[in-house]
Amino acid sequence: MTLGGDDWLLGLMSGTSMDGIDAALIKSDGSRVLEQGPRITLPYDASQRALLESVMGNTADCQEVETALTHWHHQAVSSLLEQAGLKASDVSLIGFHGQTTFHDPKKAVTRQIGDGALLAKLCGIAVVNDFRSADVAAGGEGAPLAPLYHRALAKDLEKPLMVLNIGGVSNITFLGQDETVLACDTGPGNGLLDDWMMKHFDMPMDEGGKVAASGTLDPLVLAGLLDHGYFSEAPPKSLDRYDFSPELVQALNPMDGATTLTAFTAAAVAKVLPFLPERPNRCLVTGGGRRNPFMMDLLTRELDMPVEPVEVVGWDGDALEAQAFAFLARRSQLGLPLSLPTTTRVAAPCKGGVLHLAS
């Protein structure tokens, strides 16, 4: 295993949207991002998604699902290596996030399923997994963990800026002119909206934000949704995908519900602005939500700053989270911290991850 940064690292992310597995290759010495390589997404079909949904909110043993999930990740690794024209021996480390099934840092519990030892054996590549437990055990939120990767990527960009990830849940990283890194989950991402779309339109998402764009915002319902204690808590703070309930939206018609839920995501991001040490000069958006122009317009209005997809600075918004866990795997291997007091509220910079050798 080399540590120099000229070797490939492979990151795997199965996010809270449960739309599939993102797999991406990078080269990194644990501080800098030296190269961004190919990436793929292996979408989940309805039965895979249903299997994952069956263990959501669960802390009990679910070995069958965990084993299945690990085999799907092996498929993602094989497909990515094939596409990249690489062999297993070309990759020194896999960062395997797994699937979060439960997250309640206040009770010091976070759970990502995924069998690291099995994946290492199947792939013939060393694997780091269980990235969040050490932080939670040390009193941190265990999330978000992408901020140190955002900092590395944005090394040469003008600050202050804000990186916003809109996945199932939304999270931001604020990067200040004085090297400050402040992070938190802001509120829902696409999760509530995806569930609404499935319930009312039998569609997995509001593609292009078309449905939401054709409805009418209900300001009273939006105000009710925003009347939640989470928004008055200072960062760092984190969420479980199911911490917000769509209860208040139920009375709305399907189109107005989609509009109001999209507005909720955007307005929730704006609620973090008063807690930032300075006003960011731009917001770079990663994750699936950046493909929703209606959501991007609402964000621009709410944040009152340029809101652009991360592609404008040459990053890949479909690969970023998977890349982050490749980067964090390298940091874990080097014994570098994965989180800081300002990213997860942990008392001191915290190392993490568990290494599984290939043999």
Ligand X SMILES: Nc1ncnc2c1ncn2[C@@H]1O[C@H](COP(=O)(O)OP(=O)(O)OP(=O)(O)O)[C@@H](O)[C@H]1O
Ligand Y SMILES: CC(=O)N[C@H]1[C@@H]2OC[C@@H](O2)[C@@H](O)[C@@H]1O[C@H](C)C(=O)O
Annotated binding site for ATP: 15-22
Residues 79-82: contacts with CB under 8 Å, at least 24 apart: 79/23, 79/40, 79/42, 80/10, 80/23, 80/24, 80/25, 80/38, 80/39, 80/40
Minimum CB separation of residue 324 from ligand X in Å reads 10
- Determine if 238 is a binding residue for ligand Y (CB under 6 A): yes
Quick note: the x/- pattern for ligand X over 156-175, rule CB under 6 A, is: ---------x-xxx------
Task: Tell me which of ligand X, ligand Y, none is bound by residue 110, counting a contact when its beta carbon lies within the kind-specific cut-off of 5 to 8 angstroms.
Answer: ligand Y
The item of ligand X, ligand Y, none sharing an interface with residue 342, based on CB under 5 to 8 Å by kind, is none
Reduced to 3 states (helix: H, G, I; strand: E, B; else coil), residue 208 is: helix
DSSP 35-72: EEEEEEEEE--HHHHHHHHTTTT--S--HHHHHHHHHH
| Closer by beta carbon to ligand X, 92 or else 302 | 302
User: Residues 79, 217: contact at Cβ < 8 Å?
Assistant: no
One residue of 35, 61, 207, 233 binding ligand X per CB under 6 A: 207
Binding residues for ligand Y, how many (CB under 6 A)? 17
From the list ligand X, ligand Y, none, partner contacted by residue 339 (C-beta under 5 to 8 A by kind): none
Q: Angle CA(131)–CA(328)–CA(33) in degrees, nearest 5?
A: 165
Between 129 and 168, how does the x/- string for binding to ligand Y read (CB under 6 A)?
Answer: --------------xxxx------------------x-xx
**Edge-to-edge strand order for the sheet containing 307-309?**
181-188, 169-175, 161-166, 283-286, 307-309
Residues paired with 21 in a beta bridge: 14, 42
Q: Which does 291 bind (CB under 5 to 8 A by kind): ligand Y, ligand X, none?
A: ligand X
Residue in 260, 252, 198, 218 with CA at minimum distance from that of residue 49: 198
Q: Per CB under 6 A, which of residues 8..27 are in contact with ligand Y?
A: 15-16
Rule CB under 6 A: which residues touch ligand Y? 15-16, 100, 103, 110, 143-146, 165, 167-169, 171, 185, 238, 321
Rule CB under 6 A: which residues touch ligand X? 13, 15-17, 19, 165, 167-169, 189-190, 194, 205-209, 287-289, 291-292, 321
